[in-house]
Structure 1
């Protein structure tokens, strides 16, 4: 097969149906061509990336996760160890793991950008909990990561995946869509169900602005990773039951692109609108700025 980067989800479906191949196979072929590596090497790299995701979860739940700004303070551990369980222990683990992995990013630790660092807690929280709950083997997990990567490739091409381009809907929205696709794949869903999950997820995330307080990828980014992980699971549950998204997945992505294009710049990672523009948000930004200036001045004095 030649190098393929699908223009649409419909093209992806047609390719798999015509060639009678599993949904992840075209993505493997694309990766092999792009990186000039064998299929075994691609799967080995994916497994390594998954190990880093698991490490991020573990790090966030066991080490001090306090950011320099003070906005992040071990939220993942607090949720994980809370004696109040809202739905189930599994749900509590899902939320805490998504928080923990994203807090590692906010505290300058090692994460997998899936698809971005700002959304780096969603897939780890979802995949680690999914594998633990259902006993899924590593090979299937890595296949699901390829499916997720294919989703991201199409969404990047059609609508963009950066908060600065389309708001948080493009960033955490894409990560949630990737995760919902991975869940449905791992649990034996059809291609139609996988893409229905993606469509439903996009519908749930549509219009979400990117408004980081003090310009840092901390608030509200970390908690949005947790909520996006929950949405990924709810979308997968709906799709696996055979419920469609009504609006086809490609049209959902086009709608995301249209919303992102019409969104004012202040809602695209500029820290000029939304939560960043609140009185508290502005006070935090001023405090962080003063702190940064003090650190620079202290550093200059040490240098002299």
Structure 2
């Protein structure tokens, strides 16, 4: 079956027809399209996963600070609280949030990350997948395969709507990453292809209308903490779907609604740093401190 990545329903139908996981269908299709072996395609994804893991490790350095001074050290602070049993909402969630902060802080410090699907949302997927891998002692193969499912969901969102904050606001970046992570998590825990679709839809609905308003135009405030929110949202959406709770609005309709919301969003709320938190008195003051007074 030839996939064109223009609907989530297409992915669900293909997987259901051949009684396979979405990830298995995608791996086979990508190998065919790229005229290479499945082993080579898998090795490429494995390499990306290795970068994700390293970005988590590097981002947990307590001495890490970005050039702007707006970020760094938060991931290590939360990880310490988790390790000492001082966080209040469970080890898995605390660990995942610290990882989301770690990757995005490392990105702000010019570290090597995987844009999944963008640099501004790079912390959600690594945090979700690596945290569950550690919590449940899952083999890396399971996680790497789930990345094919996440990537397929990302392709559909990119084709039907957008994954760019400049075009669709942060719903297109952290929202999309959260949907991709939710889909991967749902497959990891043996959810059906339809459950994967439902988790994607739920995650996107929860971030519908989220604006992109980076202080000083930098991918730090509030982007880093929104990645932490994104991983928590992915857990929520996956948990609901795995319990058999359906999304009333199908995933493809949710994606198209997200596109419409993005089109209606003011340009001041789409990565221009002209509205939202970027336009607050503190946001403007920080911008002047970093770049000097505006003329």
If the length of structure 1 is used for normalisation, what is the TM-score? 0.92
- Per mean C-alpha deviation after superposition, the further-off stretch among 32-41 and 99-108 is 32-41
The equivalent of 1:6 in structure 2 is 5
The unaligned stretches of length 5 or more in structure 2 are none
For the Cα contact (< 8 Å) 2:96–2:128, is it kept in 1?
yes
- Per mean C-alpha deviation after superposition, the further-off stretch among 16-25 and 247-256 is 16-25
Q: Which of 103, 110, 113 is the aligned partner of 1:111?
A: 113
Q: CA offsets, 1:133-180, max 9 Å, x none? A: 122212211110000000000000011001001000000001000100
The equivalent of 1:24 in structure 2 is 23
The unaligned stretches of length 5 or more in structure 1 are 292-304
For the Cα contact (< 8 Å) 1:5–1:30, is it kept in 2?
no
* Higher-Rg member (1/2): 1
- RMSD of aligned alpha carbons: 1.5
The equivalent of 2:245 in structure 1 is 243
**How far is the alpha carbon of 1:63 from its aligned partner?**
5.4
Whole-angstrom distance in 2 between the partners of 1:14 and 1:245: 17
Q: CA offsets, 1:101-150, max 9 Å, x none? A: 11110110000110111111111111110101122212211110000000
**How far is the alpha carbon of 1:32 from its aligned partner?**
2.2
**How far is the alpha carbon of 1:220 from its aligned partner?**
0.3
**How far is the alpha carbon of 1:51 from its aligned partner?**
1.1
Tell me which stretches of 4 or more aligned residues in structure 1 moved more than 6 Å. none
Whole-angstrom distance in 2 between the partners of 1:36 and 1:105: 33
- The correspondence of residues 183-222 of structure 1 with structure 2, limited to 5 A, is 183-222=185-224
1:144 aligns with 2:143: no
Whole-angstrom distance in 2 between the partners of 1:106 and 1:33: 37
The equivalent of 2:172 in structure 1 is 170
- The correspondence of residues 55-204 of structure 1 with structure 2, limited to 5 A, is 55-62=54-61, 64-82=63-81, 84-204=86-206
Give the aligned length: 290
Q: Which SS does the other structure have where 2:22 is aligned?
A: coil
Whole-angstrom distance in 1 between the partners of 2:13 and 2:190: 19
**How far is the alpha carbon of 1:13 from its aligned partner?**
1.9
- The correspondence of residues 202-281 of structure 1 with structure 2, limited to 5 A, is 202-281=204-283
Whole-angstrom distance in 1 between the partners of 2:9 and 2:165: 26
